[in-house]
Structure 1
Amino acid sequence: MELIGTPLIKFNVRRCEPELISPAKPTTRELKPLSDIDDQEGLRGHVSFIHIYRNDPKMRNVNPASVIREALAKVLVFYYPLAGRLKEGPARKLMVDCSDEGVLFIEAEANLTLMQFGDVLHPPFPCLEELLYDVPGSSGILDSPLLLIQVTRLLCGGFIFASRFNHTMCDGQGIVQFMTALGEIAQGASTPSMLPIWQRELLFARDPPRVTCTHHEYDELEETNKDKIVTSENMTQKTFFFGSAEVSALRRFVPAHLQHSSNFEVIMASIWRCRTIALQLHPEDETRMICLVNARVKFKSLVPTGYYGNTFAYPVATSTAKDLCNKSLGHAIGLLRKAKASVTEEYMRSFADLTVIKGRPLFTLVGSYYVSDVTRAGFDAIDFGWGKPAYGGPAEGGTSFRSFYMPFKNRKGDSGIMICIYLGTPVMERFVKELNKMVGHDNEHQVHHDKKLHYVSRL
């Protein structure tokens, strides 16, 4: 793993044996179905997060692993489904057996200081597999732990809280809700300030299910297009920073009638366009930008406060490569805004119905790309008693078809947005060239230093 910033270092990670932490009190043994948004194929996987905490002199003699382990057992009394195991019923329907078997917890220590990570903390993180150990047999979807946590103490007194959730149980905001509750109890609260609500039946498909909206997320493309998922044996990941100067530069290309567009829309449209140019697609090929819409935020009446399941829709903006590359940036922005506006409460109902009718499929990846906005999720505010994290958010930068849109402060102290892009090496070179044309400078060096670093784990 390569990170840019500081000299070569070597470190050891010593782990205790993984433990299963069950709720501190007996809970109800029951079988709880997930919603028909939760159990679609695209969410049947695990998602990882990292929170990095600096030393706090007031907590000098306190072991963060002990504090978090004790709080975890207490918070699971409220979030007891997370201590269960997923089962699959007829028609691939997922449900939780609330068995109190527990979540996995690992205590570890590393002969490493936070300073040795460099002065810029962002994914991809070096030696993630050591900071979040994949316990053999733990990464399945069915009959596996739904949550894995590793707390790694550092020589400087800081620590790293790494976690891995089964995505069918929670979306990003639901995960933050759980982590916030864990932090509150770690600091002495007896109950979370926001009590969790299950009620997954609120997003069950109707009986009978009926599709009433257009859902390009499940387009069945021609067989000849099946090989157009962007992959390569020679892949490169680069991290880009968009501060006020970069956003202002991009807005020069936005037509007057779209100047009210959000920074997110402007940046996403610019990346979509530069990425399509770099891919050198056939002019008539379809290129697709998936627009994640949080129905929990957009429709406050859809689910109650405290609901921690998945509430995202995946509307898709589509364009031919020719139009996206040759028309103005306003073309891409307009398509993104139209796709997002298509999501209504009826769209969410229709979406749940369609997943059931189609057998809970994976959304169409051919020609697709999406960016998950975690700027408002609250990952950067999780406090276990050591204050807010130096970094809190996704542990990995993304894949060839997915990136994260994350808050970030660069070396100059400028606040903005960081996005990791993952492309084939020659494609990345063309992408950087196109993006630099738009922002007017070499963007990638806004995040990184010039010196390379190899972190080597000695186990």
Structure 2
Amino acid sequence: MAMMMSVRRGTTELVAPARATPYEFKPLSDIDDQEGLRFYRSGLYLYRRCAAMDRVDPAAVLRAALAEALVHYYPLAGRIVEASPGRKLLVECTGEGAVFVEAEMEVALEELGVVTGPPVPRHEEFLCAADGAYADGGVVGRPLLYFQVTRMRCGGFVWGFQICHCLADAAGVVLFLTAVSEFARGVPGAPTVRPVWARELLSARRPPRDVVTRHHPEYEPVPDAGRDKVSPADALVHRSFFFGRREIAALRAIAPPALGSRSSRFDLIAAFMWRYRANALQYDAADVVRVQFVVNARGRGRRNNAPPLPDGYYGNAFAFAVAESTAGELRRRPFAHALRLVVAAKARAMEEGHLQSVADLMAARGRPRFAMARTYVVSDITRSGLADMDVGWGRAVYGGPATATLATFHVAGRNGDGEEGVEVPMRLPAPAMERLVVEVARGLGGVDGTVNTEACFAARL
């Protein structure tokens, strides 16, 4: 059967910037080079056949566009080095280039099914470096960017990328990929939004040790971390949960009016899924469980009335907000308890000086890794622009993360009726996932539970 055929990859090549770029060393910020970001994040774009482009090779277009984009984003063509003492990361701007692979697959996009969120079926075959291969923190001396363009039997293609998280967060990745897409469409000159390095804006003060001004539980270990109920090594299943107008209305209805009205859609869903995920994993009543999520610092003043980060800043510019509760309290008390904790955690992470305090902590305490035990890690990318890349073949059928992990995303999605909403991919052991499906349907009360069970993807290993 066609779906059993594997991808055929061509020769791996390095694509250098299209023109000469400066040779220099660029220090990363103390937000960029924390231990927990020393890995590669991946994404996929699925494009249908476009009759007007039948004589155009998408691999050639994206190779040329990448070379042009790297002229402006030339640090991405370099390699990371680690300085001593303090394990400070710098980019050596060597101009060596990004990895690029052409591939073929005798499969039609339609055979992958309807893809609205991660994990994308057969995603490993659309990525030229094994996804997660560098999750051990191995980013030093390696290429910072990988592209694979896979031509499909139907005339469509898949564009896969992997990028070192130390160089860019989700907003930064969007800036870079937008530049690639503009060059692919033949937009002349420089990218519409010019890239800005300026990593010194989010670097630690000197000396940093005495200026850590905020409490950062995300970098403190969870007690008895070994007693967690789930790990990436477990046999896990995937499932996505959809939240449309009815589901969001139901969540606001079960929250106190004042709290529900000032809570964002993300707050509501994150608090709800945190509560029922903890229930499904059957933590002991005394176990402390957390939800940890990203708060973007772009568009806000940083500290001491400093101006916001400049447009085009593509480095990591976020802090983690953390809410915690005992599993017993989370289970026993109403939804409002979880929601208040999430809203309060977000407010703390948005306070003036919070992100600078994170940078100071990194330098003062040896760049600790953020805690993961008994923690639900989630990020909202519904408005990131990640799905909007047009490289000349129109809007992608799907654009977003390639796979799901124990950490998850809120992604823009549609239910079986075509309604737009938020999709929340989850990855849990099968018994816990079965309990979560029941808990979610029950927790939404007045909403027909089939909206969140039958309309979701079927669980799969």
Give TM-score scaled by structure 1 length: 0.92
Aligned pair 1:51/2:58, yes or no?
A: no
Paired position in structure 1 for 2:414:
409
For the aligned residue pairs, the C-alpha RMSD in angstroms reads 2.0
Paired position in structure 2 for 1:237:
238
Aligned pair 1:268/2:275, yes or no?
A: no
Paired position in structure 1 for 2:192:
193
- Looking at structure 1, the residues matched to 74 and 215 of structure 2 have their Cα atoms a distance apart, in angstroms, of 37
Closer, same or farther in 2 for the Cα pair 1:277/1:393, shift >3 Å? same
Paired position in structure 2 for 1:386:
393
Aligned pair 1:37/2:31, yes or no?
A: yes
Q: Which moved more, 1:31-40 or 1:231-240?
A: 231-240
Closer, same or farther in 2 for the Cα pair 1:138/1:238, shift >3 Å? closer
Closer, same or farther in 2 for the Cα pair 1:22/1:137, shift >3 Å? farther
- 1:229 deviates by 6.2
Identity of aligned residues (%): 42
Asked whether the equivalents of residues 137 and 144 of structure 1 are also in contact (C-alpha less than 8 Å), the reply is: no
Q: Deviations over 1:391-422 (max 9, x none)?
A: 000001222xx111000112321111111111
> How many pairs does the alignment contain?
443
Aligned pair 1:368/2:368, yes or no?
A: no
Asked whether the equivalents of residues 79 and 93 of structure 2 are also in contact (C-alpha less than 8 Å), the reply is: yes
Q: Which moved more, 1:16-25 or 1:117-126?
A: 117-126
Paired position in structure 2 for 1:145:
143
Q: Which moved more, 1:408-417 or 1:242-251?
A: 242-251
1:6-405 mapped onto 2 (5 Å cutoff): 9-90=3-84, 91-134=86-129, 139=134, 140-189=138-187, 190-209=189-208, 210-222=211-223, 224-228=224-228, 230-231=230-231, 233-260=234-261, 261-299=263-301, 301-343=307-349, 344-399=351-406, 402-405=407-410
Q: Which gives a bigger RCO, structure 1 or 2 (Cα 8 Å, sep 6+)?
A: 1
Residue identity in the other structure for 2:373: V
Residue identity in the other structure for 1:54: R
Listed as ranges, the gaps of 5+ residues in structure 2 are none
- SS, match of residue 453 in structure 2: helix
- 1:47 deviates by 0.4
- SS, match of residue 25 in structure 1: coil
Asked whether the equivalents of residues 229 and 283 of structure 2 are also in contact (C-alpha less than 8 Å), the reply is: no
- Looking at structure 2, the residues matched to 410 and 319 of structure 1 have their Cα atoms a distance apart, in angstroms, of 32
- SS, match of residue 338 in structure 1: helix
Q: Which moved more, 1:431-440 or 1:298-307?
A: 298-307
- Looking at structure 2, the residues matched to 385 and 394 of structure 1 have their Cα atoms a distance apart, in angstroms, of 21
Asked whether the equivalents of residues 302 and 345 of structure 1 are also in contact (C-alpha less than 8 Å), the reply is: no
Q: Deviations over 1:173-231 (max 9, x none)?
A: 10010000001011112210011010101111001111111111112444x33432632
Asked whether the equivalents of residues 81 and 89 of structure 2 are also in contact (C-alpha less than 8 Å), the reply is: yes
- Looking at structure 2, the residues matched to 8 and 432 of structure 1 have their Cα atoms a distance apart, in angstroms, of 33
Q: Deviations over 1:32-90 (max 9, x none)?
A: 10000000011000100001111111111100100110111111010000000000001
- Looking at structure 2, the residues matched to 229 and 25 of structure 1 have their Cα atoms a distance apart, in angstroms, of 52
- Looking at structure 2, the residues matched to 126 and 136 of structure 1 have their Cα atoms a distance apart, in angstroms, of 13
Aligned with 1:429 (options 412, 426, 434):
434
Asked whether the equivalents of residues 229 and 281 of structure 2 are also in contact (C-alpha less than 8 Å), the reply is: no
Asked whether the equivalents of residues 199 and 307 of structure 1 are also in contact (C-alpha less than 8 Å), the reply is: yes
- 1:251 deviates by 2.6
Closer, same or farther in 2 for the Cα pair 1:305/1:62, shift >3 Å? same
Q: Which moved more, 1:24-33 or 1:427-436?
A: 427-436
- SS, match of residue 296 in structure 1: coil
Listed as ranges, the gaps of 5+ residues in structure 1 are 1-6, 455-459
Closer, same or farther in 2 for the Cα pair 1:376/1:299, shift >3 Å? farther
Paired position in structure 1 for 2:423:
418
- Looking at structure 2, the residues matched to 8 and 71 of structure 1 have their Cα atoms a distance apart, in angstroms, of 31
Q: Which moved more, 1:226-235 or 1:177-186?
A: 226-235
Paired position in structure 2 for 1:457:
none
Residue identity in the other structure for 2:148: Q
Closer, same or farther in 2 for the Cα pair 1:110/1:220, shift >3 Å? closer
- Looking at structure 1, the residues matched to 221 and 103 of structure 2 have their Cα atoms a distance apart, in angstroms, of 47
- Looking at structure 1, the residues matched to 200 and 234 of structure 2 have their Cα atoms a distance apart, in angstroms, of 43
Asked whether the equivalents of residues 379 and 410 of structure 2 are also in contact (C-alpha less than 8 Å), the reply is: yes
- 1:449 deviates by 6.1
- 1:147 deviates by 0.3
Q: Which moved more, 1:198-207 or 1:115-124?
A: 115-124
